Amino acid sequence: MDAVYTAPGYLFRRMQQIAVAIFVEECKAYDLTPVQYASLVSIRTHPGIDATRLSAVIAFDRSTLGSVIERLEAKAYIERKPSPGDKRTKLLYLTRSGAALLRDIIPSVERAQARILQPLKPADRKTLMALLTQLVDLNNEASRVPLRAEDALEHLGKSG
Amino acid sequence: MDAVYTAPGYLFRRMQQIAVAIFVEECKAYDLTPVQYASLVSIRTHPGIDATRLSAVIAFDRSTLGSVIERLEAKAYIERKPSPGDKRTKLLYLTRSGAALLRDIIPSVERAQARILQPLKPADRKTLMALLTQLVDLNNEASRVPLRAEDALEHLGKSG
DNA sequence: TCTCGATTGACAGCATACTTACAATATGGA
DNA sequence: TCCATATTGTAAGTATGCTGTCAATCGAGA
């Protein structure tokens, strides 16, 4: 591993940084980070989810997510309500303002996601995304916080 | 962008986290992070480089790199010497101990890099790496700290 | 019912990443 | 030579991302 440039780990780090830079640039009018955006989307999909389950649903670290939620609450995009059944957990809900933000920001997010892959030919974009999706899925257990979307939903009301 | 799971940005973030987790696991005997490793490798390749040029050579943020260098110096893997020509810059060199560490850690790093791609079929690994390399290169200017390997070397002694 | 083990949110501590700012120093042009 | 401008390292402030730990709470089994 003489030069670092050909190592997959190095390239994934670079791509992550590029993806974040593009996201932030496209969404700068909204002052929302990629992590905050993903959290909002998942809270909208699963209203009343708690922080631990949210961390499993988006595969983000539980400790980190705590401060992300704090910031989202400070910006009044979500609110935390005590759980009736379990005094330990706090349930997460989008506020009206959070729902509105999500509606407004989506075009910018889509533009960002498109820009990330834009330099490749359309066929190559498809190929890369297919392989990337596969690789993330197959390596799920290797990450510190594996994705547990299904399991997490088991414990919710799970109407849908 | 209803579900976050299909967004390239989300997938690159996940892969980066997976790659770091695998690196750390394989290299835990050495207590070295991926960023610290990349810095050491580049300092070995370019002895006497300064921090600003190093940041361009590996495309890491200049501010962040400051503390990375501090930690590497604290561990005695590198040393900083004042530049004879320029009182502002400090030149970076591997110590004997840093060079030894690099020699020892390389098998673990190679194992980590192989493990990252292992779940894919060999042909798919090649395809993914080719597309990823292309995409990083074509998006170079989009990142906050574009790679400037060539330019950076211009200003050095540049024996090789 | 009581107790032990697990879960939850919170916190401390470390390591990237990025922004802005600043003092010391260099450099090029008037 | 002098001065406006740029560069370098550093620092402060914010945001992930991870490791621990802890108290409060929960749940299951004796």
- In a domain? residue B159: no
Number of separate domains in chain A: 1
> A87 pLDDT exceeds 80?
yes
Radius of gyration of chain A (CA): 17
**pLDDT value at position B3?**
84
**AA identity, residue B2:** D
Across the interface, whether the CB atoms of A113 and B1 are under 8 A apart is answered: yes
Q: Give residue-wise pLDDT tens across range A16-35.
A: 999 999 999 999 999 999 99
**B45 in contact with A, Cβ within 8 Å:** yes
Render chain A in DSSP notation, one character per residue.
Answer: --SGGG-HHHHHHHHHHHHHHHHHHHTGGGT--HHHHHHHHHHHHSTTEEHHHHHHHHT--HHHHHHHHHHHHHTTSEEEEE-SS-TT-EEEEE-HHHHHHHHHHHHHHHHHHHHHHTTS-HHHHHHHHHHHHHHHHHTGGGSSS---HHHHHHTS----
Inform me whether the pLDDT recorded for A149 exceeds 90: no
Residues whose C-beta lies under 7 Å from strand C? A 13, 17, 20-21, 50-53, 62-63, 66, 69, 86, 88-90, 155; B 16, 33-36, 60-64, 67-68, 71, 85-88, 143-145
Residues of chain B whose pLDDT is less than 70? Answer: 1-2, 150-160
Domain assignment of residue A160, yes or no: no
Strand D bases near protein CB (under 7 Å) are 7-13, 15-20, 24-27
Q: Is residue B55 part of a domain?
A: yes
Average pLDDT over residues A127-151: 91
The per-residue pLDDT for A26 is 97
The answer as to whether B12 is a domain residue is yes
B68, B90 contact by CB (below 8 A):
no
Q: What is the mean pLDDT of chain A?
A: 92
Residue B81 lies in a domain: yes
Please state, as a whole number, how many other Cβ atoms lie within 10 Å of the Cβ of residue B78. Answer: 23
Which residues are bridge partners to B49 per DSSP? B92
**Is the Cβ–Cβ distance between A157 and A83 less than 8 Å?**
no
> Is A117 inside any structural domain?
yes
Tell me if A159 is assigned to some domain.
no
Report yes or no on B160 lying in a domain.
no
Could you tell me if B68 and B75 are in contact, meaning their C-beta atoms sit under 8 angstroms apart?
no
Q: In terms of Cα–Cα distance, which of A158, A49, A133 is closest to B15?
A: A133
Q: Write out chain A residues lying below 8 Å of B46, CB-based.
A: none
What CATH number does residue B137 fall under? 1.10.10.10
| Domain boundaries, position A30 | 4-154
